[in-house]
Amino acid sequence: EDQVTQSPEALRLQEGESSSLNCSYTVSGLRGLFWYRQDPGKGPEFLFTLYSAGEEKEKEKLKATLTKKESFLHITAPKPEDSATYLCAVATGTASKLTFGTGTRLQVTL
Amino acid sequence: DVKVTQSSRYLVKRTGEKVFLECVQDMDHENMFWYRQDPGLGLRLIYFSYDVKMKEKGDIPEGYSVSREKKERFSLILESASTNQTSMYLCASSLRQSYQETQYFGPGTRLLVL
């Protein structure tokens, strides 16, 4: 059974304090790893897709990397508006389904 | 721009009522999905559809059914709502093409069953 574990569950940062969120996975046949941002009461917003170990993607202050066992989402110099829950998901098999982790709740304070 | 819409943001229903949640996407995606999201449990797949009139059970289909009569529209039906179906319901869609399977989500429907 595919498993996705995100850590930490919650993270509190001061504005400007860079950090990384972790997503570790145990799957058979990874087809893609996805990062989403979710604001309270809203649907997840797509950030990145990574397909193979060694791949990196960047978007503004976010950078996602992938190894054979885990992915990291690095956030540089965060601001309070970056506060959200960050979700990781994996696609395996042939059915286009995703298995989600339970997310990291990030709070950035002034 | 990618767009998935859901018929209601908030719904309050009584136990035993039949509930319809509707999702529409304008991206010509083949795949559509219904999830529920509960604190501490994450997103769990209820049903998905990879084509019109096709459906497959996800991880938690009990108490739910779905309908997909048109490519752009996917409905989730609670035949007889129960209090344990109080949750946030999220619809998503994606292409069926390999390596293009990013799922795009709607805004969600928060359902309260009394």
- Give residue-wise pLDDT tens across range B33-42: 999 999 888 8
Q: What are the tens digits of pLDDT across the range B81-109?
A: 999 999 999 999 998 876 668 899 999 99
pLDDT at B97: 74
Q: Which residue of A has its CA nearest to B101?
A: A96
pLDDT at A28: 83
Please compute the mean of the pLDDT values over residues A69-86 and round it to a whole number. Answer: 97
CA angle centred on A67, ends A64 and A72, rounded to 5°: 30
pLDDT at A95: 63
Report chain A residues whose CB lies below 8 A from the CB of B90. Answer: 43-44
Shortest distance, CA A63 to any CA of chain B (angstroms): 18
Quick one: which of B21, B33, B29, B31 has its CA closest to B91? Answer: B33
Phi-psi region of A82 (alpha: psi -120 to 50; beta: other; left: phi over 0): alpha
Report chain B residues whose CB lies below 8 A from the CB of A43. Answer: 4, 90, 92, 105-108
pLDDT at A77: 97
Q: Residue B85: helix, strand or coil by DSSP?
A: helix
Structure tokens at A7: 């850590």
Structural domains of chain A, with CATH: 3-93+100-109 (2.60.40.10)
pLDDT at B99: 67
Q: Which residue of A has its CA nearest to B5?
A: A43
Q: Is the pLDDT of residue A96 over 90?
A: no
Please compute the mean of the pLDDT values over residues A21-42 and round it to a whole number. Answer: 93
pLDDT at A1: 80
pLDDT at A4: 94
Topology given in CATH for the domain delimited by B1-10+26-96: Immunoglobulin-like (2.60.40)
Q: Which residue of A has its CA nearest to B34?
A: A97
Contact flag A43-B90 (C-beta cutoff 8 Å): yes
Q: Provide, rounded to the nearest whole percent, the portion of chain B with pLDDT above 70.
A: 96
Which of B48, B50, B105 lies at the smallest CB-CB distance from A43? B105
